[in-house]
């Protein structure tokens, strides 16, 4: 796939350091081996060194020797990380004893390594649920300066190239916020347009999806999308964005012309912003399963440093690709 090859090629040039907190898990080790041999990124593996060494032999991995391996229970930066965590969270009531316990947890240690400047990004989630990966990331790395909400986008590559940019579309929020308010939805739209531009390399045309097109339906859920569209236009006046709009009017030119004749986005949208997480999460999985689309992500947007969450059903290739995307995002942040 051309887009992924470009993302991987660019990651190679960047030489970013990505931390993998599930570093002794089978798929993570196999992915790290591919990444290190292909020089896609530098890797820090957090895990039990004995388990890693046994699995390296068992799987015949020859690239892992280039990784930095950190045993979360015993490593030279442990006190530094504990003090850093205490410093960040003491205002929220965290005690030094609790910090001492939490730094044993690799999902806390990984964002701490990023915060301290030892790593540029993190990929996790092959063994842990989304909430357990995101909560420490939110608490330690926090949102970017211009953002109040983190959301998750999917780059969808559809074999049938009729829709979007030759079959490439970006969907959000598919991963984080169950019911965003109008301001959050506006921020999600602006952030997703950035992801479309910087990672999917398409010129964003954003549709704010609803069950109504330009006033055809009346409901408080429609009002939320209308308000979000207005706010997003204020946040980024140059952005090509329109709503509220139904999915067919957003991506099918003939329907767009009929239902929203004055819109510059209708019928041509390549960025789809869903009104709720139910819609976004179900929507991307429908396209992935029924249309056989490749779904790359979730790419988390709005965080101060790139931290990305895998699905627990992920493959070794999925991990390699998400590490390459994370390295590309780290370049943007830099």
**Phi-psi category of 152—alpha, beta or left, where left has phi over 0 and alpha has psi -120 to 50?**
beta
Which listed residue (61, 84, 176, 265) binds ligand ACO by CB under 6 A?
176
Please report, as residue ranges, which positions from 197 to 236 form the binding site for ligand ACO (by CB under 6 A): none
Q: Which of 66, 60, 61, 62 is nearest to 18 (CA)?
A: 66
Tell whether omega for the bond before 298 is within 30 degrees of 0, i.e. cis: yes
- Give SS3 for 122: strand
CB of 255 vs ligand ACO, minimal distance in Å: 28
Check residue 315 for interaction with ligand ACO (CB under 6 A). no
Question: Is residue 195 within the footprint of ligand ACO (CB under 6 A)?
Answer: no
CA 140/CA 111 separation, integer angstroms: 6
Contact status: 2 vs ligand ACO (CB under 6 A)? no
Establish if 94 lies at the interface with ligand ACO (CB under 6 A): no
The one among 9, 54, 135, 312 contacting ligand ACO by CB under 6 A: 135
List, in order, residues 6 or more apart from 265 with CB less than 8 Å away. Answer: 205, 206, 207, 240, 241, 242, 245, 250
How many whole angstroms separate alpha carbon 56 and alpha carbon 63?
A: 9
Please tell me whether residue 139 binds ligand ACO under the rule CB under 6 A: yes
Is residue 92 close enough to count as binding ligand ACO by CB under 6 A? yes
Stretch that binds ligand ACO, among 16-24, 54-62, 115-123, 172-180 (CB under 6 A): 172-180
CB of 131 to ligand ACO, least distance (A): 3
R_g of the chain, CA atoms, integer Å: 21
Q: Shortest CA distance to 226 belongs to which of 205, 248, 211? A: 211
126 binds ligand ACO (CB under 6 A): no
Residue 124 as a binder of ligand ACO (CB under 6 A): the answer is no
Q: Coil, strand or helix: which one is 277? A: helix
Say whether residue 105 binds ligand ACO (CB under 6 A): no
Is residue 71 near ligand ACO by the rule CB under 6 A? no
Query: Which residues make up the interface to ligand ACO (CB under 6 A)?
Result: 92, 130-131, 134-135, 138-139, 143, 149-150, 174-177, 281, 298, 311
């Amino acid at each position: 796939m051309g887009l992924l090859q470009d993302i991987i090629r660019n990651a190679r040039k960047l030489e970013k350091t990505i931390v993998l907190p599930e570093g002794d898990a089978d798929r993570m080790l196999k992915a790290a081996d591919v990444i290190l041999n292909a020089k896609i990124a530098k890797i820090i593996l957090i895990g039990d060194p004995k388990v890693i060494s046994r699995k390296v032999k068992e799987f015949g991995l020859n690239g892992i020797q280039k990784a930095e391996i950190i045993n979360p229970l015993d490593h030279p930066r442990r006190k530094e990380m504990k003090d850093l965590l205490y410093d960040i969270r003491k205002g929220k009531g965290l005690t030094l004893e609790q910090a001492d316990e939490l730094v044993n947890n690799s999902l806390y240690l990984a964002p701490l390594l990023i915060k301290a400047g030892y790593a540029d990004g993190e990929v996790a989630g092959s063994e842990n649920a989304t909430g357990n990966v995101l909560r420490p990331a939110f608490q330690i790395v926090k949102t970017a300066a211009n953002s109040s909400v983190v959301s998750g986008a999917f780059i969808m590559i559809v074999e049938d190239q009729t829709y979007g940019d030759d079959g490439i579309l970006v969907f959000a929020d598919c991963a984080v916020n169950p019911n965003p308010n109008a301001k959050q939805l506006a921020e999600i739209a602006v952030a997703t347009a950035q992801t479309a531009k910087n990672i999917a390399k398409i010129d964003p045309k954003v549709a704010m999806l609803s069950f109504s097109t330009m006033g055809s339906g009346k409901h408080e859920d429609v009002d939320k999308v209308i308000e979000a569209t207005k706010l997003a236009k204020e946040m980024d006046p140059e952005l090509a964005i329109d709503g509220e709009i139904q999915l067919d009017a957003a991506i099918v030119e003939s329907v767009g012309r009929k239902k929203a004749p004055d819109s510059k986005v209708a019928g041509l949208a390549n960025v789809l912003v869903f009104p709720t997480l139910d819609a976004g999460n179900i929507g991307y999985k429908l396209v992935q399963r029924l249309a056989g689309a490749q779904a790359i992500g979730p790419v988390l947007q709005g965080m101060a440093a790139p931290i990305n969450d895998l699905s627990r059903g992920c493959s070794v290739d999925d991990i390699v690709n998400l590490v390459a995307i994370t390295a590309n995002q780290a370049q943007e942040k830099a």
